[in-house]
A and B are shown apart, each in its own frame.
Chain A
Amino acid sequence: MKALKYLLVKEYKQMFRNYLLPIIFVLLPVAMMNMVPRIATQEVKNLNMAVIDCDHSSLSSRLTHKLASSEYFNLYATCDNYEQAYDLLERGDIDFIITINDDFEKELYRTGDTRIHIDANAVNGMKGGLGCNYLTQIVMQYAQELNAEAGLSTKRPATIEPRYLYNSSLDYKPYMAPALISMMLTLLVGFLPALNVVSEKERGTIEQINVTPIGRIEFILSKMIPYWSVGLFIVGFSMILAWKIHGIVPAGSIWLVFLFNIVYILTISSLALTVSNYSENMRQAAMVMFFFIIIFILTSGLISPLSAMPHWAQEATRINPVRYIATAMRDIYLKGSTFSQLISQFIPLCIYSIISSIWAIASYQKKE
């Protein structure tokens, strides 16, 4: 193991002489932590709508005004007919058409019941669905207001008063920030070691290493340890950024965050090295790693919740290591989960890390 020291000196020197890498190690967390929690939000805002007010009554214009003043909607245009509005929808200027019938006020006074039509662009299903919900809420509110003014005892349906646990303001940032840390680790520690070993293959320097009596474990360790330290730096640095920029701190133990990430870093770096051991050149290694990382991230629950996936897909994500770290990070950050509560995430991650590190060492052959 004496040679390991010399190999590590070499790896660190090469890493820091590559002028781009150290910059990326700092810049990536800064950029990601600043931007992504702000922009990657599932909230639906600034929805453009057009209103076709066929009634032109005082009640209908009050409704139009009410819709336009909502924080979710912009009144893009008031149209005279459906064709005009549909044209706007087709052009992508608006996503919602609200049609108020010409007997809106009359019906309301006569029967206390009236109709409003909503056309929603559901290309983005989430946007369409949520938008409709918001519109419904606004119209319901308006109806109640009118009832109250008329002095009618409003037959209010049972009101639901939800209490949101763990993220009481339903803010998207505390949900995204911890997951972002896992995503960055996956990107950096998943890609760089894979490219590193293959670049030695391409340059031919690996042959010079293979012809020496260096042990396989020593060699693999010399390739992994630098990226472990980079990974831990990313975790620590990103946690500080999340705290300073968004005020997001883990509700649970910081040590637990590190424990999980150490195991995860071991897993993903071993996978990267395994891929590089089987790859002949950079292109192969990059494409294979890209393939895995994209699938891992998309099926990890980082972006779309696991519970929304079909059952078979949920089962399939059990072989995805990112799933465990993403779940654990969110639970520690938001719920303040303890180690014993997260054991069901920890054990699979450990098994994964053991298998992948053994595989990484076994697949590195000094001899062909």
Chain B
Amino acid sequence: MTDKIVIKAEGLTKQFGKFIATNHISFEVHEGEIFGFLGANGAGKTTAMRMLCGLSHPSDGRASVAGYDIATQAEEVKRHIGYMSQKFSLYDDLTVEENFTLFGGIYGISRQKAKEKTTSLLTELGFESERKTMVRSLPLGWKQKLAFSLAIFHNPHIVFLDEPTGGVDPVTRRQFWELIYRAADRGITVFVTTHYMDEAEYCDRVSIMVDGKIEALDTPANLKRQFGGASMYDVFYALARTAKRVD
């Protein structure tokens, strides 16, 4: 982790009609950091993340990602980020290898290079035997690990993970977080949303959103001290129960 700021949001806002999904949030994320982006359902996490990824226009405020403005240089932003959405988004009628070749090709990685990379990646995951398997026939845990590997296949500066471990068993979640750590070690900044409080403990810093606003932002240790809780669960509960929005 360095002092270099790779994500900077200033008063970032998204409004749908009268509903303010994300309400003037400001924060900074440092290079190589694992940044936990927490909040109850409907707190505005996904909306904020979609704006940072250049998938959604901010209504107000601004933000830069990897040095590019999300409103005016969205396509530049996209060149430097990886994104794993809440919905599973590999092509399930392509094989594992074909998915990697496709997304590699989109970022300008040649077929040959993608092949080599896929080999080393699958070997590392212990998944070499499933190279030619259709993605649809894989179990969810594996799909999620592959989706993450795909999101960082082109060595992005930052990877955005939207509830990457939803519905995944505890063992696989643990393995998944090992992958996240490995990516962070390689210098990739990780921006992750989750509902699992044990995962929040793994983050370098955590922000907690309530009703579209960031109500707390610090390291897990500091947050626990600040809210007098024994675990991140206590901190989250103390904040989230003040929410007025209902799903």
Docked-complex contact B102 and A203, CB < 8 angstroms: no
Interface residues of A (CB under 8 A from B): 2-3, 5-7, 9-10, 13-14, 17-18, 203-205, 207-214, 366-368
Docked-complex contact A3 and B106, CB < 8 angstroms: yes
A212 CA to B100 CA in the complex, in Å?
A: 14
Partner of A367 from the list B56, B87, B107 (CB cut-off 8 Å) is: B56
**Closest residue of chain B to A216, judged by CB?**
B75
Looking at B76-84, B121-129, B219-227, the stretch in contact with chain A turns out to be B76-84
Partner of B88 from the list A6, A7, A204 (CB cut-off 8 Å) is: A204
For A17, list chain B residues within 8 Å (CB): 93
For B107, list chain A residues within 8 Å (CB): 212-213
Docked-complex contact B85 and A213, CB < 8 angstroms: no
Residues of A contacting B: mostly: helix
In the complex, besides A213-B76, A367-B54, A367-B56, 17 extra interface pairs with C-beta distance below 8 angstroms are: A2-B108, A3-B108, A6-B102, A6-B104, A7-B102, A7-B106, A9-B102, A10-B91, A13-B93, A203-B87, A204-B85, A205-B89, A207-B89, A208-B85, A210-B55, A367-B74, A368-B56
For B76, list chain A residues within 8 Å (CB): 213
For B91, list chain A residues within 8 Å (CB): 10, 14, 205
**Closest residue of chain A to B91, judged by CB?**
A205
Interface size class of B (residues with CB under 8 A): 20 to 34
B7 CB to nearest A CB, Å: 15
For B81, list chain A residues within 8 Å (CB): 211
Partner of A10 from the list B54, B75, B102 (CB cut-off 8 Å) is: B102
For B102, list chain A residues within 8 Å (CB): 6-7, 9-10
A146 CA to B56 CA in the complex, in Å?
A: 87
For B103, list chain A residues within 8 Å (CB): 208, 212
**Closest residue of chain A to B75, judged by CB?**
A213
A40 CB to nearest B CB, Å: 37
B105 at the interface (CB under 8 A from A): yes
A214 CA to B92 CA in the complex, in Å?
A: 20
Contacts across chains A and B counted by CB atoms under 8 Å: 79
B240 at the interface (CB under 8 A from A): no
B101 at the interface (CB under 8 A from A): yes
Docked-complex contact B55 and A367, CB < 8 angstroms: yes
Docked-complex contact A367 and B57, CB < 8 angstroms: yes
B190 at the interface (CB under 8 A from A): no
A18 CA to B90 CA in the complex, in Å?
A: 17
A14 CA to B102 CA in the complex, in Å?
A: 12
A7 CB to nearest B CB, Å: 7
A14 CA to B94 CA in the complex, in Å?
A: 7
For A210, list chain B residues within 8 Å (CB): 55
B223 CB to nearest A CB, Å: 30
- Can you list 8 A-B pairs with a CB-CB distance of less than 8 A? A7-B105, A10-B94, A13-B94, A14-B94, A203-B92, A205-B90, A213-B76, A368-B55
A166 CA to B92 CA in the complex, in Å?
A: 53
**Closest residue of chain A to B85, judged by CB?**
A207
A14 CA to B136 CA in the complex, in Å?
A: 13
Docked-complex contact A211 and B53, CB < 8 angstroms: yes
Docked-complex contact A2 and B105, CB < 8 angstroms: yes
A203 CA to B81 CA in the complex, in Å?
A: 22
For B83, list chain A residues within 8 Å (CB): 207-208, 211
For A3, list chain B residues within 8 Å (CB): 105-106, 108
Docked-complex contact B78 and A212, CB < 8 angstroms: yes
A282 CB to nearest B CB, Å: 16
**Closest residue of chain A to B81, judged by CB?**
A211
A204 CA to B55 CA in the complex, in Å?
A: 13
Q: For the complex of A and B, list the 10 residue pairs with the smallest distance between their C-beta atoms, beginning with the closest.
A: A6-B105, A204-B87, A208-B89, A211-B83, A213-B78, A3-B106, A213-B79, A212-B106, A204-B89, A207-B85
B33 at the interface (CB under 8 A from A): no
A214 CA to B107 CA in the complex, in Å?
A: 8
Q: A207-B85, A207-B89 are in contact. Are A6 and B106 (CB under 8 A)?
A: yes
A3 CA to B87 CA in the complex, in Å?
A: 24
A203 CA to B107 CA in the complex, in Å?
A: 22
For A213, list chain B residues within 8 Å (CB): 75-76, 78-79, 106-107
B44 CB to nearest A CB, Å: 15
